[in-house]
Amino acid sequence: MKDRIKTIINRHEELSKLLSDPSVMNDQNKYKVTAQEHSQLSPIVLKGQEYLDVLHQIADDEDILKGDDTELKEIAQEELSELKVQIESLENELKVMLIPKDPNDDKNTIVEIRAGTGGDEAALFAADLFRLYSRFAERNNWTREIMEMNDIGIGGYKEVIFLITGKGAYGLMKYESGVHRVQRVPKTEAGGRVHTSAATVAVLPEAEEAEIDINEGDLKIDTFRASGAGGQHVNKTESAIRITHLPSGLVVSCQDEKSQHQNRLLAMKVLRSRLLAQEQERLAQERASARKSMVSTGDRSAKIRTYNFSQGRITDHRINYTAYKLDAILDGDISELIEQLKLAEQQEQLAGD
């Protein structure tokens, strides 16, 4: 640990010098990459310096214990007991801080919600999830942009795709990928029986153009008239776009914007992000034989959470977490739940080291 911290401190000092180097300052991309690495290492350096200082104090006290001064030896012995507790705590904190960070965590994210089993009730639940994540975005001062929306006319959605823009959006939202199950008496059910319905959530890091190279010749692009329940969803020109990526068979459509150009840009964002997610999933499956992640597998077919309305209960099945504050969670108050998921993932990573 000591050598690793010293290496990080040296790298941080090197980055500090680079940030004032004119050749780096005049290269926008190089400066951005250097500044990001410097920023990521700064909290580790602060904690690491504290760790090294305590190690130095321990070494000093151990030298005193080798001497003949009885009074000083008593003081040193008492101090050593406290320092050893402190150094253990610092080591544990540093272990967590040194877990390799997901390079996608700071990216914007594309969220796709689709109604699953349960008919109209599943579509209404998809709308509940859309509101949940919209409120969570507001709480984090992120912006939300609708990319595609397919409503059923009674307040539910067969599908809704939206972009969340903001620092750390993917890093927090990635834990939401999977099947969400709801147990409640549907608004459409007169008999008062509890039904179980589901919706799937896919959370994708927004891919930059440099990450995914798409050949224009691999694309089939169709235009059509936007449709929907009136208002902005209906127009008389063919502004809606459908893009088919022929090699993968992925199909993306976007009709929420007024112009064909805007819809094409948004559709390409979704396509790039889906292709990036597809590649990441392939790599994850290759690594799964060595160690399967319990928390953020990104497996969209896995049932991750149940929302039970009659009991006001929410249960996350990945970490056996249950809370009786369903209303607050549906209003976007999911920070505590996400922290529990992050902690479980960290503990699993530490155990796998």
* Residue 285: predicted pLDDT: 65
Pick the CATH number of 109-209+291-352 from 3.30.70.1660, 3.90.550.10, 2.40.50.140, 1.20.58.100: 3.30.70.1660
69-99 burial, b for 16+ CB within 10 Å, e for fewer?
Answer: eeeeeeebeeebeebeeebeebeeebeebbe
* Residue 297: predicted pLDDT: 45
Please give the CATH architecture assigned to the domain spanning 2-97. Answer: Up-down Bundle (1.20)
* Residue 274: predicted pLDDT: 86
Report the amino acid identity of residue 93. Answer: E
CB 214 within 8 A of CB 245: yes
Tokens linked to 41: 């290492």
Q: What is the rounded CA–CA span in Å between residue 342 and residue 171?
A: 10
* Residue 348: predicted pLDDT: 83
Domain edges within the chain? 2-97, 109-209+291-352, 216-284
Q: What is the rounded CA–CA span in Å between residue 305 and residue 319?
A: 10
Please give the CATH architecture assigned to the domain spanning 216-284. Answer: 2-Layer Sandwich (3.30)
Phi, psi (deg, nearest 5) at residue 317: -75, -20
Regions of the chain short of the pLDDT cut 50:
229-235, 287, 289-292, 294, 297-298
Q: What is the torsion angle, in degrees rounded to the nearest 10, for the CA atoms of residue 246, residue 176, residue 210 and residue 293?
A: -90
The pLDDT tens digits of the residues spanning 241-286 come to: 889 998 888 888 888 766 888 888 888 888 888 888 887 777 666 5
* Residue 257: predicted pLDDT: 67
Can you list the alpha helix ranges (DSSP code H) found in 196-259? none
* Residue 353: predicted pLDDT: 57
* Residue 349: predicted pLDDT: 80
Give 266-302 as a DSSP string. Answer: HHHHHHHHHHHHHHHHHHHHHHHTT---SS----TTS
pTM listed for this prediction: 0.68
Q: What is the rounded CA–CA span in Å between residue 25 and residue 101?
A: 26
